[in-house]
Structure 1
Amino acid sequence: DGHFVSGTSTLNPTIDSAGTYSITITNNSNGCSSSDNVVVSIDTIKPIVNAGLDTLINCYNPSISLNATVNPTNVNVLWQTNNGNIVSGNTSLTPMINAAGIYIIQAVNTVNGCVSYDSLTVVVDTLSPVVNAGNDTILTCVNDSIFLTATTNLSSNYNVVWATNNGNIYTNDSLLQIGVNSGGDYLVTVTNLSNGCSSTDTVIVSEHLTALANIYATPTSGVIPLDVDFANQGDNYIVTWDFGDGSQNSTDSMVTHTYTEDGQYMVILNVRNEYGCTASDSILIDVFGTSSILIPNIFSPNSDGVNDVLKIKGENIKELSITIFNRWGEHIIELTSPNQYWDGRTYAGIEVPEGTYFYIVKAKGVDGQEYDVKGSFTLVR
């Protein structure tokens, strides 16, 4: 029931089917024979191999482990791919892969050498969403808090997270629109929940919450009529000058103002910049009239409360000294301040007698006028 291919008269015939094969050996010298039988069976059963279900790689699982099964277990396996990538374990049932492609498993029965194949397809889903954080914007004094609105190409099944290291989010940071009230860099991340892939975008919020007013004025003091040059060295979007003398305000950035009356004037500069922020600055301007001095020609230090002291009456005098002598030229006393006066006594506090006394007055006015006056006055008691 078997089948010889060749070599029936040899000790090593070739067969190609199962069956019972008999061999007879004859001794040619005496004609005696002996026979024996051998039973040949067939083992061509291939192993059963299953590569597993088709699967995918995404951002949740950028590398995955395949999971094949074989029967029987006494097999050698080998994974191969032409367009994927096997990271490790290509001779195991569970290789690690990280690329899309077709993966083929070969299973070889270690007993009979029979081979089986199976394959699976791995696809990739790593498409990131499109996200736009919006245009860079500005916080101003008019709008000191604003809303940022991001957009995405996803209509559902996504997650949003806003973050900042140097700003401040005062609303829910897990919505496309957030409220912020501080300048900074704002990062929005949108995640596609179906594949775990994310995209980010950044919007920069700048702050313009202050204005600057800075007065430059020259001169800041002088004699009437006094021309003062004013300039704003701060923001120049909207400028208002108040010169403190009741005159009409000016809106020029640079202006010259003339003071025609003496006095001290508080000049106020108010500015508003293009972001709606305001600031002010101020400076004092001292305006003096022309100087003059008046020297009395008589006084009566008799403690009656009337004309008891000798005092130089000066207008806008900043320096003054008076030296008093008696009629013999003796130095009686010296006054060195516009606020000083003489009560008719010596340095030692002794009352001087009635009579004519002589003086030398040296003075200087705020207008630069210098005085050098000599004369006399009468002291009566």
Structure 2
Amino acid sequence: FPDGEGGVGFRDGQAQAGSNYKEYVGACLLESMEPGVSYRLDFFVGFRDNVPGSKSFNIALFASTNCANLPFGGNNFQIGCPLNDVGYIQLGETFVSGSNEWVNVVFEFTASQAYEVIVLGPSCNTNPNYYLDPYFYVDRLTLAKSADFQIPFESITGSICDNDLVLQVPADASNTYQWYQDGIAMIGQNNPFLQLTSIDNTEGVYAVMITTPEGCYISENYNLLIPPYYESTSASICENDYIMIGTDTLSTSGFHEIWLEAEDGCDSVLQITLEVLENTYASIQDTFCLGDDYSFHDIFTYEAGTFETTLVNANGCDSLITLHLTGVGTGLGMELPETQFIDLGQSITLEPLFYDPVFTQFLWTNSTGSVLSESPVVSLIQPANSEWLFLNVSNNAECNQLDSVEVKVIPDYSVYIPNVFSPDGNGIHDEFTCFITGAVAEISVFSVYDRWGNLVFQDNNISNPLNYKGWTGNVEGEQAIQGVYVYMIRIKFLNGVEKVFAGDVTLLR
């Protein structure tokens, strides 16, 4: 349909045979397709306006290797699509929809055989709206090798704004030409050139179909846009910034009008309302503890002084900050002694080796968080196990520091038990007892037996072991006879360890 004066209509159901009644456009090609070569079928589908059932469908492309297979169906209205006859295959299928418009559709495929026939129309599936007599159109069908599409223009001269824009393709008397705008054939435009002027509806996509003795070809597209004569907009910038439009520099608030020239030579006026947003300024006072590090945004320092930095305010502009930083203290800090060692049963008092006079608050804690002291000094009374102590010092404001020290408790399970005593009342070795250190928490059992294994003395759960006197040498109120006795003493230490001491002792009179 090279002159744009015609189109082909077809049905996708109903009419004479219900859902199977389908109509197609078919042609025997001027020459067979070459196997292994890529081809393109470019065409437009037309849709009517406000026609129920005729706004969408699936369109398919079929092919055959024998022109004798065209037409297909043998006047059998029930045959449906070409695949229901012999000698056809389907090359492609796609869904397309529209309303009162032409829609461009493209099938790209590689020929696997030397096809001589193509058929275009509804897919083999039943159209769900078949009972509404769906009806569609096709126009500007072009089948060619993919490489033959997008032929470049020979020249593009002039300007649409000067009404002398000319699109030109190579001229050949043996060829025919048909120009298209937005896929619609332009009636009467059958020359190898097209002149465009700045009239209504000139904007669009232009191309020409060239029909040669060898076949049909499509030129490249030319997208014509006429710039608006006036365009209004608004913008905002920050203080001390500017925007460039063409050769104009804008940096002040207000209304600006700028004349521009588009690529195709048309004049355009840009009207812009510009707002200049002010930067903000702030001064901050802050203090920190000398000897510590201080950070704010991109400021990192160990010293007092005045610093400047830039943030972003709510308008997205600069917020210039001046920081006045004051140091507190002398920078001396605080330090605890190294690890402290004590024997089990001993007590210890700790205090810092030195601390800055700025520190007025002290908090000693252990590893469980229990508070031990709120003064510079802390005392541990006979700790049973090793533990870490922590001292946090502060001035209730900017300065605070934390240090720690480990107190290691060395277990000492030594007990002295004499092997002779003489309960004669002279005040020397009158009792049999054990001599212990502060590491002992309790004497659980203190028992003495005679040589025949009879229990002659026993005490239990002695909770004040350092002052324990022991056995006075009496049995049931009578003096025990001189001789050798056996003892068994069970001792529990502060750290929970229990030990049993056994041996013999001689009683002398």
TM-score when scaled to structure 2? Answer: 0.23
